[in-house]
Amino acid sequence: MRSFTFSDFLFLLTALEWTFLMAAMALAFGAPLAVLLAIARTGKAILPRFTASAFIDLVQGIPLLGLLMFFYFGVPVLLGTDVPALVAVGAAYTIYTAAFLGDVWRGGIQAVKQAQWEAGACLGLSWRQQFVHIIGPQAFRVALPATVGFLVQLVKNTSLASVVGIVELARAGQVVSAGTFQPLFVYLLIAGIYFAICFPLTTWSRKLEARLNGAR
């Protein structure tokens, strides 16, 4: 047994890089897919709308831990080859992010009045121009609070990646706790680090929402 040292704190901060990396991967790959899902769900075509709805309902009905287990343990069995932990985690978090953000942004798009679409059409704008210049910005304002709320949850849910061997913040805390036998102090410190990450996100969201006047 040893005492908690500054080296342990640095180890936790180093592991935090994996937390940021996984959250960034989830957003980089999941956000574009979420946009496509939101557009498909709000479109008039029956097949894309049904497919997107079924995908979102399926993913939202499966625990994130189940997705991680499937891609890390199940996919290698199906493919007959090993899947790197980072690839499995990236796939799981991408699908998770796409499903939840797709639903959030779908709500934002549907909150914009149909008259806005009609006004854009009257100006001779194409569907893409209407969405980019008229509908998208308004939908973003409406969906901003829920989007940031999901980002906070995403950062905290990266702790589940420890089950497949990724040494992120929570897993690093387990290692340090086992070495120092100071679980209360270590996990309080980890909770403080998560709070230091998530609270500024929430504060920034409120300021941005007020500046964009999203409530109106």
CATH hierarchy code of domain 6-212: 1.10.3720.10
3-state SS assignment for residue 81: coil
196 half-sphere exposure, CB direction, 13 A CA radius: 8
Secondary structure of residue 181 in the 3-state scheme: coil
pLDDT by residue for the chain (216 residues), tens only, comes to 678 888 989 999 999 999 999 999 999 999 999 999 999 999 888 999 999 999 999 999 999 999 999 999 998 888 888 888 889 999 999 999 999 999 999 999 998 888 888 888 888 888 888 888 888 888 888 888 889 889 999 999 998 998 888 888 888 998 999 888 888 999 999 999 999 998 888 888 787 777 766 445
Radius of gyration of the chain (CA): 21
Q: Give the global pTM.
A: 0.87
Helix (H) or strand (E) holding 197: helix 183-212
